[in-house]
Structure 1
Amino acid sequence: MPYAKAKDGTMLYYKDWGRGDPVVLLHGWPLTGDTFDDLAIKLVEAGKRCIIPDRRGFGRSEQPWDGYDYDTFADDVVAILEDANISQPVALVGFSMGGGEVARLVSRQGKGRISAAVLASSVVPRVVQGDDYPDGVPQAKLDEITAQMQTDRAGFLQTFLKQFYGVGFVTQPISDGVLDAGFHQAIMAGARSTYAAAQAWATTDFRGDLPAFEGIPTLILHGTSDKNVPFEGTGKKVAEALPHAQLITYDGSPHGIFETDKDRFARDVVGFLTQNNGRKAADQSGSAIPLTAQ
């Protein structure tokens, strides 16, 4: 199993599947890279090479005390790509919290290094409500989530995952097995990393990263009934800020569209990347430029 060493020495687990144009799949909170197993199989079958990390503190990666901020997360991805000997432009797929890593990598690396971007149920451009961002989630709601986690993390995660997948009294778009698998992934994370990463995705403002998406093919996927990361304050805002981006909404779907809408999700991502992830760096900036940590 491949492990890369981050700048601070943290060992980062990742899967390296297939051959071809590289695609990095960045999972959401509080899950692991296993989120993307089904999608990665489809991408490999379509001729892509998939790099699938477990974020620091989650899954099989180490659980340091520090480093739960988006600059560090972006540098961790760069360390993984260097370990995998990937220097050509990469496509980025970020689900939920992983969308923030996509945004930060795009702004720090530029279109010479990023060939395409997918934001799925993403936290970009901002989650928390503010005086200049009325469409966000109220801070009191985020504080309530933190309190629930700290009181009973395991119980919170079980309840959270039901909302994540749109499970209700009369609706259950996924099986109990999917819920169990999600809980297993989530509980693997340390308590410190679970809390600190939640603070990062809840409070980081990515609006300053959005201008860097200009010239990079971008796909936005979001469920219209997402209660975890509501579409109106995230995906809709990104689509308004990036006129060149392609927006696909999943009518009535919850947050975890990679499971609830698995076949459609795979078709949308594979189709988009097959069309847009074959470009060489020369088409974008004149020469291939390796990704670099900052």
Structure 2
Amino acid sequence: MSTFRTQDGTQIYYKDWGKGKPVLFSHGWPLDADMWDSQMNFLAERGYRVIAFDRRGFGRSDQPWEGYNYDTFASDINDLIEHLDLHDITLVGFSMGGGDVTRYIGRYGTERVSALALLGAVTPIFIKTDDHPEGVDKSVFDDIKAGLRKDRAQFISDFATPFYGLNKGMTVSEGVKTQTLNIALLASLKGTIDCVTAFSETDFRPDVKKIDVPTLVIHGSSDQVVPFEATGKLAAETITGAQLKIYDGAPHGFAVTHQQQLNEDLLAFLQAR
């Protein structure tokens, strides 16, 4: 099993498949690197080196009590990039993982980065504030944390409905729903709760302004978890030259419901570099 240790001694698990230009994936909440298996296999078969890691507290990585904030997540990514000595990387971040890769650029720049893809990402800012009135109200995130504390297994099981748009005409297999729950329950409860605070309250607007590489923004028009108008729309408008793709009717979990479309779009974006 491939692992490395971060600056604070946390052991992080990662996958490293294929050969070619590197593509580094950062997963969403409350998942792990396995969410990317389809995209990774597809791109590795087409000549790319694909790397995905389990965020600290999730999957097969260590479960420290602290460190669930975006400065630490960005530092972990930097440690992985240096561990593998990666250059000319395309960073791909889904949901809260979009925050990881954006904060990485904000802190460490783009010397090693050639392109960026933000998929259903929480950037530039998720929560409702005085200067971001289209954001999601804090009470929503408070309710999520309360649900996790009360009965995490049932909360995550129910969360699959809006995540995959099952109440909006989308369908996924029973296997996908089972896998989603199993992955989520591998994670640290503390990390799962703390990450809700991190992805909801972190302001990435200063980081987004530092993005100076070709960027692809993909968002579902029917995203009930990370609403497009509050996040992806603003990211695409803020990042110079960003390419925006809106998946009509797609939910938050479009990496599953629109798997082939996403695979082809990522490949086309990579081939254009």
TM-score, structure 1 as length reference: 0.91
C-alpha separation between the residues in 2 aligned to 1:87 and 1:229?
A: 30
Q: Give the 3-state SS of the residue equivalent to 2:219 in structure 1.
A: strand
Contact preservation (8 Å) 1:46, 1:274 = no
Paired residues, what number? Answer: 273
Q: Give the 3-state SS of the residue equivalent to 2:210 in structure 1.
A: helix
**How far has the Cα of 1:133 moved from its partner?**
0.6
1:190 and 2:196 correspond: no
Contact preservation (8 Å) 1:65, 1:192 = yes
Match of 1:128 in 2: 127
Amino acid at match of 1:123: V
Contact preservation (8 Å) 2:6, 2:76 = yes
C-alpha separation between the residues in 2 aligned to 1:66 and 1:270?
A: 36
1:152 and 2:151 correspond: yes
The residue correspondences of 1:66-215 to structure 2 (distance < 5 A) are 66-84=66-84, 86-168=85-167, 171-214=169-212
Consecutive unaligned residues in structure 1, runs of 5 or more: 277-294
Match of 1:37 in 2: 37
Q: Deviations over 1:94-118 (max 9, x none)?
A: 0001000111111222232211000
Deviant stretches of 4+, over 6 Å: none
**How far has the Cα of 1:275 moved from its partner?**
1.6
Which of structures 1 and 2 has the larger relative contact order (alpha carbons within 8 angstroms, sep 6+)?
1
Amino acid at match of 2:214: P
Amino acid at match of 2:65: W
**How far has the Cα of 1:164 moved from its partner?**
0.4
C-alpha separation between the residues in 2 aligned to 1:240 and 1:80?
A: 30
**How far has the Cα of 1:195 moved from its partner?**
0.4
C-alpha separation between the residues in 2 aligned to 1:114 and 1:45?
A: 22
**How far has the Cα of 1:172 moved from its partner?**
4.0
Match of 1:26 in 2: 26
Comparing 73-82 and 94-103, the one that deviates more = 73-82
C-alpha separation between the residues in 2 aligned to 1:138 and 1:114?
A: 34
Identity of aligned residues (%): 44
Q: Deviations over 1:229-249 (max 9, x none)?
A: 000000001111124000000
C-alpha separation between the residues in 2 aligned to 1:20 and 1:139?
A: 43
C-alpha separation between the residues in 1 aligned to 2:178 and 2:143?
A: 24
Q: Give the 3-state SS of the residue equivalent to 2:157 in structure 1.
A: helix
Amino acid at match of 2:182: H
The residue correspondences of 1:230-241 to structure 2 (distance < 5 A) are 230-241=227-238
**How far has the Cα of 1:18 moved from its partner?**
0.7
Amino acid at match of 1:181: Q
**How far has the Cα of 1:49 moved from its partner?**
0.7
Contact preservation (8 Å) 2:217, 2:243 = yes
Match of 1:220 in 2: 217
The residue correspondences of 1:42-81 to structure 2 (distance < 5 A) are 42-81=42-81
Amino acid at match of 2:18: G
Match of 2:239 in 1: 242
Match of 1:285 in 2: none
Q: Deviations over 1:147-166 (max 9, x none)?
A: 11111111100011221001
Contact preservation (8 Å) 1:92, 1:118 = yes
Amino acid at match of 1:25: F
Contact preservation (8 Å) 2:22, 2:89 = yes
**How far has the Cα of 1:198 moved from its partner?**
1.3
TM-score, structure 2 as length reference: 0.97
**How far has the Cα of 1:220 moved from its partner?**
0.2
C-alpha separation between the residues in 2 aligned to 1:126 and 1:19?
A: 35
Contact preservation (8 Å) 2:54, 2:61 = yes
C-alpha separation between the residues in 1 aligned to 2:270 and 2:101?
A: 15
Match of 1:290 in 2: none
Contact preservation (8 Å) 1:225, 1:254 = yes
Contact preservation (8 Å) 1:162, 1:179 = no
C-alpha separation between the residues in 2 aligned to 1:82 and 1:213?
A: 20
**How far has the Cα of 1:274 moved from its partner?**
2.1
| Aligned-CA RMSD value | 1.1
Q: Give the 3-state SS of the residue equivalent to 2:73 in structure 1.
A: helix
